[in-house]
Structure 1
Amino acid sequence: MSFLDKPQPLWWRKALFQIHLWVGLFAGLYAIVIGISGSILVFKQELAALTYPHLMRAPNPDRPERADLFTVMVRARTAYPDFRLSGGYLPGVGSDNVLVYMQGDGGRELFVMADPSDGHLLGALDIESSWLHWVSDLHIHLLLGLPGYVVNAIGAGLLLLLSLTGLVLWWPGIRRWPQALIVDFRRSWRRINFDLHSAAGFYTLAFVVMWSISGINFVFPQQVAAVVNVFSSVEGGREPEIHIKAQRRSADLSAVLGQAVRNFPAGRLAGVYLGEDANHPITVFLSRGRRNDFTRMDYVYFHPESGRQLAVWHSGVNPTLGSTFVFWLSPLHFGVNWGQGIKTLWALLGLSLPALAVTGALMYWNRYLGRRWKRLRSAAAKSEAPVA
């Protein structure tokens, strides 16, 4: 008897089944939450436009884009003096308008929007007041703050374990494996539920593994890179770490933006991020394709005090297999760079996580809890029956 022919009686497969069962029950709620929230966030920009059309949609879409990013950022700083500038992005990156990202005391965050045709301010959105911010916080931090970030990585690890054990458990034997790829809706609902769990788990396996590894990578990028680096260099696949010692952030932002555009004329200005403080570089984004496609973006780094160029990273230019692997973890996780068709597919695939959790829980009910419940009800009925 071998695993290829008849795997069900093997002791180690039974052990993997117990691991799969109890990890699945433990992580089921996590899979439901992360799957539904992730599917919503695939359409975050579209949902934001529906929720805040006066801020996210261009008021004069037929007019040419003439707004100057630096000028808009200065206007935003003047209009909202209690907030400090953190970044600015031209149309296509986050909305149809010019977007200025600002931060205030107590972690407050503000999106200030401007008309791309002339640069006049349209208003501001307090990010914490947005329901999409709540969904994003749920997906990223599980509403637990920074500790939730680590909990999320642990949950991603459990999903990876479920995927790998599930693949082994899915294999029914060399003669029966074609049947495990389909759902026979002529059978009983219990069998249909089993087939749905089995077939959905197989067809979505590669995506769940990808989401699991990328979820771990978001929290522990150094550790993931170290593992990949054993097999192939990750050099070039990750944004470089630039360490700076500066007294203050005093560089002329207008000059920095102009220098970036002159030094890389093939790129198109997409935005700028000013960094968390003076110990982080100013990053100018120059797109080699669409402005919202960060897989084809040049990151040009400048000293926050002197304004001199420090480095450049050509996002998407990966010289090795390892660099390609670590680079694509993030874009593939989100699935927002390749049009509405891929976004719809990603959203539907994300819903496979709650589907697998629910069908798995129903299987446990059918095999154990449901029968135990019937026995308990039967015993209770007998104890309440009158004695002749």
Structure 2
Amino acid sequence: MKLLDALHRWSGGLVGLLLALVGLTGAILVHRDAWVMLPHAGDTQVQETQALAATTVALMADPTRQPQSITFANAGFGLDRLTYKGGAGAYVTQAGEPVLEWSSQWARPELWLSDFHQHLFAGEAGETVIGVTGLCGVFFVVSGTILWWRTRRTFEFRLRPARMTRPSIVRHHRDLGIVVAPVLALSLVTGTVLVFRPLASVILGPGAPAEIDGALKPPAAAVVQLSDDLDWEAMIRTARLRFPDAEVRSLSLPRAGSGLITLRMRGPEEWLPNGRTTVWFAADTGRMVAVRDAVELPARVMAYNALYPLHAGKVGGLMFRLVMTLSGLGLAMLGTLAVWSFWFKRPRARVK
């Protein structure tokens, strides 16, 4: 038990501040749609096929100004978001009228906060660090619960330490940790599996990562040049005819090594905000190449698709967002006070 206690304290002292920052940014991002206050952000979501087609045609009309992707408005945020090369982007109304443009993610707090939360501003390397930090967080939840059990009879819930002394901080850390442990476990496990997909085998069973990779892999297609004369309206209509009850969520131009335009949709049964129901079109002709119906995915893949909505509070309405806010703020407080008490609040040596 002494070894477990030492590992808990030392690892918390080393990575606690990073966990605190990840928790705080996560708590802020859970309410992202509410605090991005721009004209028309409160507009009612439009999903009428003709309106979506007309907006897409207008945004894609100029080949020199085509966005790399369009994320259409949702029920909680009434603007379409465009992304361009080099981190540039824009918000437009659902009729395609400009609202705000930016040349870098640093101009928009919701973008750089999201980048920090997911990648630490360091791309794939930062994402790996986030994943390792999440694993440490899972260890803290498990080891902290074991260590708390010895002192369970002294449990007393407080929002803050009774005094800013090291014993009071340690006691508050221990008792607050056991209260938020269930939601912390949910946040940390879902986030870590999203970063390290092979860990899906731990919660979904052996072979799950390979099954997920295979089910979510885009279809094979020849790499072709994007045509300047595509019928964008026909693509929207074709997708809607194939999935009449699904929301049109995003349209993406081909990425490097791909010759496919990707149209993502969200079926009524899906939790994932942008859905996994997908229609692919050839970049040179606009013809439909393949479709994926999310309700026909294997059960374990559907379970994997539920991890992000749970992690980001995208299901369950305001009450669940508040639960995930509690998780983020709890992690922020636990991490900050753990680092402070470990490195800066050592008891003074007694003078003999």
Q: If the TM-score is normalised by the length of the shorter chain, which range does it land in?
A: 0.7 to 0.9
Greater Cα offset, 290-299 or 266-275: 290-299
For 1:96 and 1:186, how far apart are their aligned partners in 2? 42
SS of the aligned residue for 1:310 comes to: strand
Shift of 1:272: 2.3
8 Å contact from structure 1 (residues 93, 292) kept in 2: no
Alignment partner of 1:263 is 2:242? yes
1:72 aligns with 2:55: yes
Number of the residue aligned with 1:170: 148
Mapped to 2, the partners of 1:125 and 1:275 lie a distance apart of 23
Other-structure match for 1:217: 193
Aligned equivalents of 1:154, 1:189: Cα separation in 2: 30
* Unmatched tracts of structure 1, length 5 or more: 1-12, 380-388
How far 1:364 sits from its partner (Å)? 3.6
One-letter identity of the residue aligned with 2:328: G
- 3-state DSSP of counterpart to 1:336: coil
CA gap of 1:300–1:77, structure 2 versus 1, over 3 A, is closer
Q: Is the 8 A contact 2:91 2:100 kept in 1?
A: yes
Structure 1 residue aligned with 2:266: 287
Q: RMSD over aligned Cα, in angstroms?
A: 3.6
Q: Give the total of aligned pairs.
A: 344
Are 1:244 and 2:224 an aligned pair? no
Q: What does the per-residue CA deviation read over 1:309-361, in whole Å, with 9 as the maximum and x for residues that have no partner?
A: 3131416x6654x4354222211110123222221221122111121123434
Corresponding position: 1:276 with 2:258 = no
What SS does structure 2 have at the residue aligned with 1:155? helix
- C-alpha deviation, 1:33, in angstroms: 0.9
Contact 2:90–2:98 at 8 Å: present in 1 too? no
Counterpart of 1:384?
Answer: none
| Distance of aligned partners of 1:57 and 1:186 in 2 relative to their CA distance in 1, 3 Å threshold | closer
**Which residue number corresponds to residue 35 of structure 1?**
23
Q: The residue matched to 2:183 in structure 1 has which SS?
A: helix
Task: From the superposition, tell whether residues 186 and 121 of structure 1 become closer, same or farther in structure 2 (CA, over 3 Å).
Answer: closer
Q: Secondary structure at the residue paired with 1:85?
A: coil
Q: Deviations over 1:257-300 (max 9, x none)?
A: 21111122232433323342461533323333399953866223
Residue equivalent to 1:45: 33
Gaps of 5+ in 2: none
Instruction: Assess, with a 3 A threshold, how the Cα gap between structure 1 residues 184 and 177 changes in structure 2: closer, same or farther.
Output: farther
Residue 20 (structure 1) aligned to one of 2, 8, 33 = 8
CA 1:233–1:134 in 2, change beyond 3 Å: closer, same or farther?
closer
Give the SS at the match of 1:302. Answer: strand
Instruction: Give 1:171 shift.
Output: 1.7
Relative to structure 1, is the Cα distance of residues 77 and 284 closer, same or farther in structure 2, using a 3 angstrom cutoff?
closer
Query: Deviation digits for residues 123-154 of structure 1, max 9, x if unmatched?
Result: 33215211222222221222334422222122
Structure 1 residues 255 and 185: alpha-carbon distance in aligned structure 2, compared to 1, 3 A threshold: closer
Query: Taking structure 1 as reference, are residues 358 and 87 closer, same or farther at Cα in structure 2, changes over 3 Å only?
Result: closer
| CA distance in 2: counterparts of 1:184 and 1:77, whole angstroms | 52
What TM-score comes out, normalization by structure 2 length? 0.81
Partner of 2:288: 308
Q: What secondary structure does 1:92 align onto?
A: coil
**Displacement over 6 Å in runs of 4+:** 62-67, 184-189
- Could you say which structure has the greater relative contact order, defined with CA pairs below 8 angstroms and 6 or more residues apart? 2
Instruction: Give the C-alpha shift of residue 228 in structure 1.
Output: 5.3
Q: How does 1:115-126 map to 2 (within 5 A)?
A: 116=94, 119-126=95-102
Once residues 292 and 212 of structure 2 are traced to their aligned partners in structure 1, the CA distance between those partners, rounded to angstroms, is 11
Question: For residues 339-350 of structure 1, what are the structure 2 equivalents within 5 Å?
Answer: 339-350=317-328
Q: Percentage identity across aligned positions?
A: 19
State whether residues 184 and 192 of structure 1, in contact with CA within 8 Å, keep that contact through their aligned partners in structure 2: no
Distance of aligned partners of 1:177 and 1:354 in 2 relative to their CA distance in 1, 3 Å threshold: same
Counterpart amino acid of 2:263?
Answer: V
